[in-house]
A and B are shown apart, each in its own frame.
Chain A
């Protein structure tokens, strides 16, 4: 339960960090909050040759709302993003999801961008990025590129970040006026990985009828699964049935496939009802 040996550098700038990563390619690994990486190292499930510790890159601690997006820097801790009132107003789904990410003490250190890059299929923020169509900014010595959420998650614990790249920030679209969101999940104990979870976004037309409903699921596939539930016409029970029929989760020691399907249906029904209520409240306010 101790990490294997590794080389270590602690750059002071993004430029320096990507140059170290380029020199160590493909053996380098970025260390930010470490709340997923350190357990992997302690359990010897990962053995990177060289860690690039970005905790001195204070230029990446930013959390801001600008140009229709919430922008979260690579060093912003979950707890900081969760406490940000501008973010809560601009895109409530972020706070709804972050409140379910592990525990306060883990959120104090863990970073939101790190959790997205880690691409855990049980991760709440991966589902948020996928549902809202966010994007990740990747920087390397050869320049920058932006990868959209639908191309970012390649498989369980695998995202489209090359060994020489540093994810510097994510962009998540703000919520329009006549829309609402909700997050629901079931876990064995509060703060544990979700057995099944769903993030829902509902949009209303001028007559307060649901014009569009979408959902992203965690723990039912290798990557966040996004479904369009607009066909349910805003009926939460119908949307629940639709979701149950369209997910095909696997079974493991925590839950059978059938139980996960059942949960996907029930949680969709609850979350859609909450999202519609939130949308109505927002459109009044």
Chain B
């Protein structure tokens, strides 16, 4: 029977290679949570409306509940767990959410963090209107969004400071070399 058939899938999640076998109907969201035990990705509506399950696939933000794990074979995936730095410090977007009180219960937060992280790569200095557009596909039932909009703008500032600090240090290294 077709449903019993398993497919070999290689996923590189947050830099770690996983070789797993999944049935064709396994959603990427369930694959991350159940097969790989990465429960930071949350599952809300399971039909693409709420955005809680948003992850980055090859650097692009997508709904993991609307993607089959088998379709993602070979992909590089970043989940919310992968946003935090190796030394445990928060990424600019995560830090901005903490600074601006961009969450209350936190259920929707992983989806916001991943979607905003990808959007700032494309548009590092969003206007407030663009910040609202960026989070337009994610639902939050606690905050009323105002602090999340602030967090997007704050994340852009933190990110810019980080990028310019990295450039200065790269310049210093080039100078000493």
Task: Please report which residues of chain B, range 65-88, place their CB below 8 angstroms from some CB of chain A when the two chains form the complex.
Answer: 65-68, 70-71, 73
Main secondary structure on B side of the interface with A: mixed
B13 within 8 A of A: no
Scan B23-36; emit 1 where CB is below 8 A from any A CB, else 0.
11101001000000
Given contacts A5-B23, A190-B136, contact A106 B48 (CB under 8 A): yes
For the complex, give the distance between the alpha carbons of A41 and B24 in Å.
12
With beta carbons under 8 angstroms apart, the residue of A7, A42, A55 that contacts B71 is A55
A190 to B63, CA, bound (A): 18
A104 contacts B61, CB within 8 Å? Answer: yes
Q: How far is the CA of A10 from the CA of B24 in the complex (A)?
A: 11
Residues from chain B with a CB closer than 8 A to the CB of A51 are 24
Q: Is the CB of A104 within 8 A of B67?
A: no
> For the complex, is A53 an interface residue (Cβ under 8 Å from B)?
yes
Chain A residues with CB below 8 A from B27, complex form: 2-3, 38, 42
**Which chain A residues in 14-38 approach chain B with CB under 8 Å?**
31, 34-35, 38
Once bound together, how far apart are the Cα atoms of A103 and B51, in whole Å?
Answer: 10
Q: Does any Cβ of A come within 8 Å of B93's Cβ?
A: no
Assess A5 versus B3: contact at CB under 8 Å? Given A38-B67, A109-B66. Answer: yes
Residue of B5, B48, B133 most packed against chain A (CB within 10 A): B48
Q: A5 — which chain B residues lie within 8 A by C-beta?
A: 1-3, 23-25
How distant is the Cα of A116 from the Cα of B139 in the complex, in angstroms? 27
CA of A189 to CA of B109, assembled, Å: 20
User: Given known contacts A5-B23, A53-B71, is B133 in contact with A104 (CB within 8 Å)?
Assistant: yes
Annotate B133-145 by CB proximity to A: 1 below 8 A, 0 otherwise: 1101100000000
Determine whether A39 belongs to the interface, using a CB cutoff of 8 Å to chain B: yes
CB distance from B16 to the nearest CB of A (A): 23
Bound Cα distance from A108 to B5, whole angstroms:
29
A191 to B48, CA, bound (A): 12
Q: Give the residues in chain B near A53, CB-CB below 8 Å.
A: 68, 70-71
B25 in complex: contacting residue of A2, A109, A190, CB < 8 Å = A2
Top-9 shortest CB links A-B:
A5-B3, A103-B137, A8-B24, A7-B2, A39-B47, A1-B46, A38-B66, A3-B25, A109-B62
Identify the B interface with A (CB < 8 A): 1-3, 5, 7, 23-25, 27, 30, 46-48, 51, 54, 60-63, 65-68, 70-71, 73, 115, 119, 133-134, 136-137
A residues at B contact (CB < 8 Å): 1-8, 10, 31, 34-35, 38-39, 41-43, 49-51, 53, 55, 102-106, 108-109, 190-191
Task: Pick 22 A–B contacts, CB within 8 A, sort by A.
Answer: A2-B25, A5-B1, A5-B25, A6-B24, A7-B5, A8-B2, A8-B70, A10-B70, A10-B73, A31-B68, A31-B71, A34-B66, A38-B67, A38-B68, A103-B51, A104-B134, A104-B136, A105-B54, A105-B61, A105-B115, A106-B137, A109-B63
Known: A38-B66, A105-B115. 17 other contacts (CB 8 A): A7-B2, A7-B24, A34-B66, A38-B27, A38-B47, A38-B65, A43-B47, A50-B2, A103-B51, A103-B136, A104-B61, A104-B134, A105-B51, A105-B137, A109-B66, A109-B67, A191-B136
